[in-house]
Structure 1
Amino acid sequence: MLSIEHFYWLMALFLLYAGWRNLRDRRFAHAAFWGLLAALFAAGKPILDASKAGHALPSQLAGVAVIALALLATRMRREHIDEAPEAQRLASAQRLGHRLFWPALLIPLVTVAIVLFGPKLAIGGAPVFGEGSITLIGLALACVLATFAAVLVTRERPVVALGEGRRLLDTMGWAALLPLVLATLGGVFAASGVGEAVASLVSAVIPADNRLACVLAYGLGMVVFTMIMGNAFAAFPVMTAGIGLPLLIQQHGAAPAILGSLGMLTGYCGTLMTPMAANFNLVPAALLELDDPNAVIRAQLPTAIPLLLVNLVLMYWLAFR
């Protein structure tokens, strides 16, 4: 039975490899950062089980580890990591052509296939996929299969995939954790009652009985919160708990699936416009060695603003049909 835990352990092994490579290169802050993160991935379920059983120490240790990661992040510096010569990379790209995209296209295709058909698969009466979100399991399995596909397409040794993965991870540095951390931040905000506070504030400012005003408050709120927190995953639980659920779904009868999907997509418009989304907007500028650190954001603005307007129109038109 395949569960999400198996992929957490696989991720822990890869992070350990990245830590070991950095240790060999005497990049001690990077080595400690990835090694500590590997320990958290590997020990996630034992920590959760111990916390449920009433043992507070494991969860406290996890909290100390998170604080240590934040301190180590201040010591991590982006440095050039050796890669294949440019002429060799260019020759490989010309030889492979569009076949380079095949492994990447496998990821969404396999993920969707597992989400649709995975729950029905069984061997000897036992389900193939076990505990955990079927979407996350499908995405993780798709990434593993895409890695093998990339090795077959490029005819490189598997160790090259590990080396290039480690190089990309170190190039991004601590910013690679931003989606995970910001999504967790959104959950913390929702659990601490920020959503209810937002609902009270919005109700006092806008006419709650006006459907259009609520749609604008929800959509624009998703954009603003995303720009502040850097990720739509962090904004979504707050804005949905504060405006989407009580005002649009319960009071005005909006379809939850349509509202939620368009709400997330609207939030991503904010991701395109904020430097807080460092892994999306600042890291690519650094990787491309652009003179303007905000060049990626400037290039995305002509897409983000019209897409925001289209999303608001679609939300008002489709969510209440």
Structure 2
Amino acid sequence: MLSIEHFYLLLAAFLGYAGWRNLRQRRFAHAAFWGLIALLFAAGGPVLRASKAGDALPAQFAGAAVIALAVLATRMRREPLYEAPESERRASALRLGHRLFLPALLIPALTIAVVLAGPHLVLGGTPVFASAGLTLTGLALACLVSAIAAVAVTRQRPLQAADEGRRLLDTMGWAALLPLVLATLGGVFAASGVGEAVASLVSAVIPADSRMACLLAFALGMVVFTVIMGNAFAAFPVMMAGIGLPLLVQRHGADAASLGAIGMLTGYCGTLLTPMAANFNIVPAVLLELDDQYGVIRAQAVTAFWLMGTNVLLMAWLCFR
């Protein structure tokens, strides 16, 4: 049975390779950073868990590892890494043409195929895919197939995929972990009762009997929390627990499905406005070598505010029909 945990081991192998390459180049902070993350991912794989080796890595180790990663991140420096000359890359792009898009398009197509067909695939009486985390398993499998397709289309060495992945990983640096860490932060906030505190504060400040006032508080809260935490996934559980469910759904009868969908999109308006979403707004500026490191945010700001206003109108129209 294929599960997301099998891909944890594959990801751990790739991160270990990135650490080894950095170690050979005497980039010790990078090597330790990726090697430590590789160990954490490997500890969640089925092989270690089945052999009880995972008991050697208790939760306290994971906590200490997070602190170590934060220290190592301060020592990581962006340095030029070898890549093919621009003339060679342009010639390759012209030769391959639109075939370059095939590996990228395979990722969403295969992910959807696994999600839809996965529950019905059985081999010898055993499901091919584990039901838990089916979407993530489909995405991981699609990325693997896409990498194989990219090697076939470009006719490069298979190891080239790992080398280019490692180069991109080192270019992004610690910011590559932000989506994972910030999404986890939202769960921590929700478990610690921040949602209830937000509900109490909102009820004291705004007229809770006003449907529009609650809706505006929910939309603005999604944007502000996303700006602070850098990820709408982190803001969503807090705002749904604090305003969405108790005030809009239970008190004013809003449709939970449409409120959640459009509310999440509203949170992404905050993503367009914050340097905390470094993987979206800061890393591209670095990769493109822009003079203004906040140039991406400035270009997106007008779109963010217009989209936020549109989402509020959509929620007012669709959530209370």
TM-score calculated relative to the size of structure 2: 0.95
Letter in 2 for 1:274: T
CA contact (8 A) 1:106 1:142 kept: yes
Matched, 1:237 2:262: no
Distance in 2 separating the partners of 1:106 and 1:58 = 37
Moved over 4 A (4+): none
The residue aligned with 2:90 is: 90
Would you say 1:6 and 2:6 are equivalent positions?
A: yes
Partner of residue 137, structure 2? 137
Answer whether contact 1:4 1:131 (CA < 8 A) is retained: no
Deviation at 1:247, TM superposition (A): 0.9
CA apart distance, 1:303: 2.0
Match of 2:166 in 1: 166
SS in 1 for 2:226: helix
Shift of 1:68: 0.6
Q: Given residue 135 of structure 2, which amino acid in structure 1 is its aligned partner?
A: T
C-alpha separation in 2, matches of 1:203 and 1:6: 46
Residue 6 of structure 2 aligns with an amino acid whose one-letter code is H
Compute the displacement of 1:49 (Å).
7.1
Q: Could you tell me which residue of structure 1 aligns to residue 255 of structure 2? A: 255
Give the percent of matched residue pairs that are identical in Structure 1 and Structure 2: 75
Tell me what 1:304 maps to: 304
Query: Take 2:153 and 2:199, find their aligned partners in 1: how far apart are those partners?
Result: 52
Q: State the one-letter code of the partner of 1:288.
A: L
Number of aligned residue pairs: 316
Cα distance in 2 for residues equivalent to 1:67 and 1:214? 38
Q: Could you tell me how far apart the structure 1 residues matched to 2:183 and 2:218 are?
A: 18
Distance in 2, Cα, partners of 1:248 & 1:85 = 56
Q: Is the 8 A contact 2:8 2:45 kept in 1?
A: no
Give the unaligned 5+ runs of structure 1. none
Instruction: Give the counterpart letter for 2:221 in structure 1.
Output: G
For residues 318 and 212 of structure 2, what CA distance do their matches in structure 1 show? 13
1:294 maps to amino acid = Y
RMSD (Å), alpha carbons: 1.7
**Partner residue of 1:187?**
187
1:59 aligns with 2:67: no
Measured after TM superposition, the shift of residue 296 of structure 1 is: 0.7
Letter in 2 for 1:220: L
Q: Could you tell me how far 1:131 is from its partner in structure 2?
A: 5.0
- Structure 2 unaligned segments of length 5 or more: list them: none
**d(CA) in 2 for partners of 1:106 and 1:57?**
36
> For 1:140-159, what aligned pairs fall within 5 Å after superposition?
140-159=140-159
User: What's the TM-score, normalizing by structure 1?
Assistant: 0.95
Moved more, 138-147 or 122-131: 122-131
How many angstroms apart in 2 are the aligned matches of 1:18 and 1:170?
8
Cα distance, 1:89 vs structure 2: 0.4
Matches within 5 A, 1:43-82: 43-44=43-44, 58-82=58-82
Q: For residues 164-210 of structure 1, what are the alpha-carbon distances to aligned partners after superposition, in whole Å with 9 as ceiling and x for unaligned? A: 00000000000000000001111111110000000000111111121
Which residue of structure 2 aligns with residue 203 of structure 1? 203
Tell me if structure 1 keeps the 8 A contact 2:111–2:142: yes
CA offset at residue 75 of structure 1? 0.5
Q: Match of 1:108, SS?
A: helix
Residues 12 and 81 (structure 1 numbering): CA distance in 2 closer, same or farther, change over 3 Å?
same
CA contact (8 A) 2:43 2:57 kept: no
**The 10-residue stretch of structure 1 (157-166 or 252-261) with the greater mean CA deviation from structure 2:** 252-261
Distance 2:311 2:281 in 1: 22
Please identify, of 305-314 and 270-279, the stretch whose mean Cα deviation from structure 2 is larger: 305-314
Q: Deviations over 1:6-25 (max 9, x none)?
A: 01111000000000000011
Counterpart of 1:42 in structure 2 is: 42
Amino acid at match of 1:200: S
**Which amino acid counterpart does residue 172 of structure 2 have in structure 1?**
M
